[in-house]
Amino acid sequence: MSQSFTESETSRFVRVREGEGELNIHYNDCDPGDARETVVMLHGSGPGASGWANFNRNITPLVEAGFRVLLVDCPGWSKSDTIVNTGSRSNLNARVLAGVVDALGLSRIHILGNSMGGHSAVAFALDHPERVGKLVLMGGGTGGVSPFTPMPTEGIKLLNGLYRSPTIENLKAMMNVFVFDPGDLTEELFQARLDNMLKRRDHLDNFVASFAANPKQYPDFGPRLGEISAPTLVIWGRNDRFVPMDVGLRLIAGIPKSELHVFNNCGHWAQWEHWKAFNALVLEFLSR
Ligand SMILES: O=C(O)/C=C/C(=O)/C=C/C=C(\O)C(=O)O
């Protein structure tokens, strides 16, 4: 039976402690009703990004296979509270995720992280190893320099520029670098993303303020990857112009129980550009 969900009917909020205060965190809860396992999906850092915007092509196959899918919006994105982050954003997102899973009474989760979401998934796995089933890291997993690709990459330069000047022209320039084949990008997708972005100018301003306070928002977890015992599937686009594919090689070199799948003719959005094959890969990995 095909189950389809809408963003509005799955939209939820939960308050989590952070420092001396609290953050109101938005998430989408796609629950088949009898799930034994939960997959949390964590989005990337672009302006207007959200769990739904990043993963709307990846939900149904997992729910139909019996997984509960939670799309958690990190602080500073979508309908979650805004924040100026002066420390490690990977670890901030990991603390917030721990608060969300505590509030929902979940003991163990699988995590699928896209780009910044991958960095945050690794931070969570390092801080809470007993709470992680499996990891799927896609286009991210750690900060740190690439030995092969000049940084910041062209995609990250466009992303940072878009935060400072949120125009439809700059959004299209960034998203055309996001994917290998811009032909898949529709005016509807651009408009939805622009609306998301302009709805929360506070998120845009605070991302810029965070970067000014700490240009290294994503620490290099390279020296600690060996601590991760969770089975890990790393997925990359060979043509990724945001986070270069050699980061994926660093991840499988460091994480003991890991494997890498590289999609050719694919940019930074493998879960969207090759969604059918991506979903099959993830489902097979999680179901082993
Ligand atoms: O700078 C990094 O290491 C991480 C970059 C990102 O997280 C970029 C991802 C952006 C998206 O996935 C998006 O949908 O905007």
Contact 260, 248 (CB under 8 A): yes
Q: Whose CA is nearest to atom 13 of ligand 1?
A: 46
Which whole number is the average pLDDT over 116-120? 98
Lining ligand 1 with CB less than 6 A are 44-46, 49, 54, 114-116, 140, 143, 156, 159, 218, 242-243
Residue at token pair 């799948």: 261
Q: Confidence class of residue 193 from pLDDT cuts 50, 70 and 90? A: very high
Q: Could you tell me which CATH class the domain 7-286 is placed in?
A: alpha beta
Residue 2 has a pLDDT of 55
Which whole number is the average pLDDT over 3-19? 93
Query: Which atom of ligand 1 is found nearest the CA of 115?
Result: 7
Q: How far is CA 136 from CA 32, 94, 155, 207, 213, in A?
A: 21, 15, 22, 25, 30
**Per-residue pLDDT reduced to its tens digit, 211-250:** 999 999 999 999 999 999 999 999 999 999 999 999 999 9
Pocket test for ligand 1, best of 88, 114, 145, 175 (most atoms within 8 A of CB): 114
Residue at token pair 């969770």: 230
Could you tell me the pTM of the whole model? 0.97
> Per-residue pLDDT for 182 more than 90?
yes
> Per-residue pLDDT for 31 more than 90?
yes
Predicted ipTM? 0.92
Active site residues: 268
Which whole number is the average pLDDT over 166-194? 95
**Per-residue pLDDT reduced to its tens digit, 36-47:** 999 999 999 999
Q: Whose CA is nearest to atom 11 of ligand 1?
A: 44
Q: List the domain boundaries for the chain.
A: 7-286
Residue 206 has a pLDDT of 98
Q: Whose CA is nearest to atom 4 of ligand 1?
A: 116
> Per-residue pLDDT for 1 more than 80?
no
Report CA(19)–ligand 1 centroid distance (Å): 25
Q: Confidence class of residue 105 from pLDDT cuts 50, 70 and 90? A: very high
Which whole number is the average pLDDT over 241-260? 98
Q: How far is it, in rounded angstroms, from Cα 282 to Cα 63? A: 12
Residue 282 has a pLDDT of 98
**Per-residue pLDDT reduced to its tens digit, 145-171:** 999 999 999 999 999 999 999 999 999
Average pLDDT, the chain: 96
Q: Confidence class of residue 15 from pLDDT cuts 50, 70 and 90? A: very high
Contact 85, 112 (CB under 8 A): no
Query: Which atom of ligand 1 is found nearest the CA of 54?
Result: 14
Contact 218, 143 (CB under 8 A): yes
Between helices 168-178 and 154-164, what is the axis angle to 10°? 160
